[in-house]
Amino acid sequence: MHKFSIQVDPLTGEKFIDVPYKGHLLVENPLFNKGSAFSEMEREQLDLYGIFPPQVSTLDLQLRRAYENFVGKPSPVEKFIYLLSLLDRNETLHYGLVLGHLEEMLPIVYTPTVGEGAKTFSLLFRRPRGLYVAANRIHLIDRILESVPFSNISLVVATDGERILGLGDQGVGGMAIPIGKVSLYVVGAGLPPALCLPVLIDVGTNNEELLQNPLYMGLKHRRLTGEAYDNVVEEFAKGVKRHFPHALLQWEDFGKHNALRLLNNYRERICSFDDDIQGTGAIALATMYSAITIKKEQLKDQRYLFFGFGQAGYGIATTLVTALCEEGLSLEQAKERIFPVDKDGLITQGMAADEYQQPFVCSRDMVGSWKCRDKKKIDLLDTVANAGITVIIGVSGVAGAFTDDVLSQLVKNSKQPVVLALSNPTHKSECTPEQAFKATEGRCLMATGSPFAPVKTAEGLRVISQCNNMYVFPGVGLGAMISMTPRVTDQMFIKAAKAVAAMVDKKDLARGALLPDIKDIRKVSENVAYAVAMEARDSVLGIRLYDGEMRTVIRNSMWQPEYLPYRYNQ
């Protein structure tokens, strides 16, 4: 395997990259391909004469051409396919284009459009990207990992494709998510794309439509479970540790019966985290820090209802409990402020509840005096009314669940209720911003899981912040890598949330923004990485650098999409 590195000529000080190929082999590699931007000297030294038209382009000129192609595509899916094909041809150009048009292209690269990419993955497949670890080939894991182009992988994003966004089991199509997450790491935190590896662990699928589809490219049997499933994941994790001992492993979009279990099984054994649990918790907490700044209150002054209590709800709730305890509450007092509601109503004692939900089950004594239409199934509206809910958090995937009655009741509980409709894609949001502002007379503070346009209210145009994990996980990953911490702790995510919230200034808050502008994502990631690395250092887990040194190292590590000179090194 080749080791990717940016080198410096000791004589001239020029930055350059060693490349192991010439001619067509070089231009067929999207990490090295510059297209028409290869210089005359490179064309001569790397056997590129005749491969491209004679005019040498600049990166800026290529970006103009690429953008014209992008805007000419008639639909989001067509734009998604174009960006994916560009990624397969020229990664520097792809990332330069996305970084230059961030707000326009993030909904294409990731949610909501990536969901369509996952659903039609077998039709859209063009060329290999990342690794497919099939259960029936897990005994070959070392050979599979040895096929990676570069030996110094720093990040592995892995999924088994079972819980893709709000779409459920997409099998091998789940690979669209690690590919998208790697893109967000590169764009958001400047991780060099050569050091990032997306992985799909194929253990089968329970999606009947896929199993019956002759065009489906994954294993055509039902998902492995129990010991058979665990053995596959175990061999994969051990293989990653053997081959890339310093890499961060991000677990992504695993089913609720596996996600928390895998996180707990591996977080002490390998530097890893689950973005759906911990990243979601941190970005929701960052949003809440902004909201309570506007309200001039504290977290402990709020009453929180979760509609949907899977891994995302659990992640937000546990992160909130940690933050509430920082404000002086006991663990029990913190949990008493949290009310989980699922399809069977408020989760109370005596109801069937998953193991991870048990710490948040509400006591029957607490609800005994409530006035409810049905005491056997205390629904969303009755919980909001009786518990005095001031913050409602939707992670259910149930479109329209936050009805006008529910939203109107919130205003009776708080002058400025907080509405976080976090389900995505867009069509699964618990309510739209227009509905929320109308029902609350423009008084709510709102963020959503998918992008929404600003909304006109009586008080002016209100910005709708997208509660996007991208504000957190790229910086957490970068901070973990820079600090060389052996594990990612819950406290690192608390520090990350505070770093994000600290970037929302008074002018943004006045417009209703609860999170920074996404165009500032590189600065956000830098601040998050710094907060995480400092927490690692101060908890004796990371490298010891002075504050200013840590900041400099983080800034210098962030890759920029630019063409550096190449030198052939066979």
Percentage of residues in the chain having pLDDT higher than 90: 89
The tens digit of pLDDT for each residue in 246-304 reads 999 999 999 989 999 999 999 999 999 999 999 999 999 999 999 999 999 999 999 99
In CATH terms, are 110-270 and 471-557 the same topology? yes
The tens digit of pLDDT for each residue in 179-221 reads 999 999 999 999 999 999 999 999 999 999 999 999 999 999 9
* CATH 2.10.109.10 given to domain 110-270: no
Please tell me the predicted confidence (pLDDT) of residue 2: 78
Please tell me the predicted confidence (pLDDT) of residue 366: 87
Contact 158, 273 (CB under 8 A): no
Q: Region 80-89: what's the mean pLDDT?
A: 96
Q: In a 3-state reduction of DSSP, which class is residue 287? A: helix
Mean pLDDT of the chain: 95
Confidence of residue 475 (pLDDT cuts 50, 70, 90): very high
Give the amino acid at 244.
Answer: F
For 292, the token pair is 């309570």
DSSP 8-state code for residue 74 = S
Euclidean distance between CA atoms 101 and 519, whole angstroms: 9
Euclidean distance between CA atoms 326 and 285, whole angstroms: 13
**Where exactly are the structural domains of the chain?**
6-57, 110-270, 278-284+300-466, 471-557
Euclidean distance between CA atoms 168 and 206, whole angstroms: 10
Q: In a 3-state reduction of DSSP, which class is residue 446? A: strand
**Which CATH class for the 471-557 domain?**
alpha beta
181 is catalytic: yes
Catalytic residue among 82, 95, 110, 185: 110
110 is catalytic: yes
Count helices and strands (H / E) in the chain.
25, 17
Catalytic residue among 79, 181, 256, 428: 181
- Domain 278-284+300-466 superfamily per CATH: NAD(P)-binding Rossmann-like Domain (3.40.50.720)
**Which CATH class for the 6-57 domain?**
mainly alpha
Euclidean distance between CA atoms 382 and 307, whole angstroms: 13
From 176, 133, 182, select the one nearest 156 (Cα to Cα): 182
Give the amino acid at 139.
Answer: H
